[in-house]
């Protein structure tokens, strides 16, 4: 711990991030990514703290501040780490939406950023899952909050999606085992084509809960930030989001990890 703390505290020794010479070299970008990815503890709150420190140090140089802010907002919008969407939202709300980036940001860009964070914030890890009431193949209304399961997997797919065609049958091969562990899978079709939806179900013999919104009566694509398929959310028994946007084939392994964590908590309350 001492070695780590010493290394972290002295990581930026001898480097002035406002130096225009460093800004025009590959050094600054490499140091920033090394620091944020390999030195800072990979938790959203820890990263947010360090991002604010770096941006505060960059403020004396308008050019460096602009470069750093743009770099960081792009970095965390595309981050593959599940909980780092909170970092992206923090940067947008604290710096872009308070006018600190107005010198180089157009109104159109700000509107896009506002829209983007509005889609992300409802599904932060730990939040209650957004309301989701859809219809099964018989037209019966189903509310996901009525599903009694230790974990509920929301599997959003499109019948025309190539990845969905490959991964769905593989995921379904684990269904019986997951059911035995107290897990329910809800397959949510993002298409409004009823024939394609039902053909997809029949082709792979999908007997999990099959739902869709064929008449576009809900806004689930917006509230669950569905920008590609398949998209996965895992909810706990209280329907809070515990994991999201993992690869569909990783679901069985992630469920095992969650169950193991539950067992450890029960043994060490």
State pLDDT tens for residues 90-106. 999 999 999 999 999 99
β-pair partners for 244: 233
- Residue 263: its pLDDT value, please? 87
- For 203-239, what is each residue's pLDDT tens digit? 999 999 999 999 999 999 999 999 999 999 999 999 9
Is residue 153 predicted with pLDDT exceeding 90?
yes
Per-residue pLDDT of 188-200, as tens digits, reads 999 999 999 999 9
- Cα–Cα distance list, 191 to 66, 187, 232 (Å): 41, 12, 16
Q: What is the pLDDT of residue 269?
A: 67
pLDDT of residue 24: 86
Query: Above pLDDT 70, what percent of the chain?
Result: 100
Q: Is 68 exposed, middle or buried (0-12, 13-18, 19+ CB in 10 A)?
A: buried
Query: What is the residue-averaged pLDDT of the chain?
Result: 94
> Which residue is it, tokens 């157009």?
106
What's the rounded Cα separation, in Å, for the pair 149 and 181? 9
What pLDDT sits at residue 137?
A: 96
- pLDDT beyond 70 at 182: yes
Query: Angle, to 10 degrees, between the axis of helix 44-58 and the axis of helix 62-77?
Result: 160
- Mean pLDDT in residue range 142-151: 96
Structure token digits, residue 70: 């743009």
Q: What are phi and psi of 185, to 5 degrees?
A: -110, 130
**Burial of 60 from C-beta contacts in 10 A (0-12 / 13-18 / 19+):** exposed
Please give the C-alpha separations between residue 172 and each of 69, 91, 144, 196, 204, in angstroms, as whole numbers. 43, 39, 19, 18, 8
Given this model, what pLDDT does residue 78 score?
87
Position 23 scores a pLDDT of 87
What pLDDT is stored for residue 265 in this prediction? Answer: 82
Q: How confident is the model at residue 266 (pLDDT cuts 50, 70, 90)?
A: confident
Residue 125's CB: how many other CB atoms inside 10 A? Answer: 14
Confidence at residue 71, expressed as pLDDT on a 0 to 100 scale: 94
Structure tokens at 8: 């972290």
pLDDT at residue 81 in the model: 87
- Across residues 163-171, what is the average pLDDT? 97
Instruction: Give mean pLDDT, residues 170-195.
Output: 97
Residue range 143-157: mean pLDDT, rounded: 97
Residue 86 pLDDT grade (very low, low, confident, very high; cuts 50, 70, 90) = very high
Work out whether the CA dihedral 122, 125, 128, 134 comes out positive or negative: positive
Mean pLDDT value of segment 173-190? 97
Checking DSSP bridges between strand 141-143 and strand 151-157, what pairing results, if any? unpaired
């Amino acid at each position: 711990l001492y070695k780590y703390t010493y290394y972290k505290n002295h990581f930026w020794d001898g480097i002035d991030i406002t130096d225009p010479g460093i800004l025009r070299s590959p050094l600054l970008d490499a140091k920033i990514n090394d620091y944020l990815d390999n030195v800072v503890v990979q938790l959203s709150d820890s990263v947010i703290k360090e991002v604010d420190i770096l941006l505060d140090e960059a403020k004396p140089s308008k050019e460096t501040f602009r470069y750093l802010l743009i770099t960081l907002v792009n970095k965390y919008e595309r981050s593959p780490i599940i909980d780092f969407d909170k970092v992206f939202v923090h940067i947008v709300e604290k710096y872009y939406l308070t006018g600190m980036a107005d010198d180089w940001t157009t109104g159109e860009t700000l509107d896009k950023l506002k829209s983007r964070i509005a889609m992300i914030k409802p599904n932060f890890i730990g939040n209650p899952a957004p309301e989701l009431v859809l219809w099964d193949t018989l037209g019966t209304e189903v509310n996901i909050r009525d599903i009694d399961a230790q974990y509920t997997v929301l599997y959003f797919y499109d019948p025309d999606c190539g990845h969905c065609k490959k991964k769905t049958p593989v995921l379904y091969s684990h269904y019986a085992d997951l059911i035995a562990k107290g897990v329910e899978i809800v397959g949510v079709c993002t298409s409004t084509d009823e024939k394609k939806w039902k053909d997809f179900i029949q082709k792979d013999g999908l007997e999990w809960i099959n739902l869709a919104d064929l008449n576009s009566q809900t806004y689930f694509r917006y509230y669950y930030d569905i920008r590609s398929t398949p998209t996965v959310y895992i909810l706990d028994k209280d329907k809070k989001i515990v994991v999201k946007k993992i690869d569909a084939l990783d679901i069985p392994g992630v469920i095992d990890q969650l169950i193991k964590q539950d067992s450890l908590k029960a043994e060490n309350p």
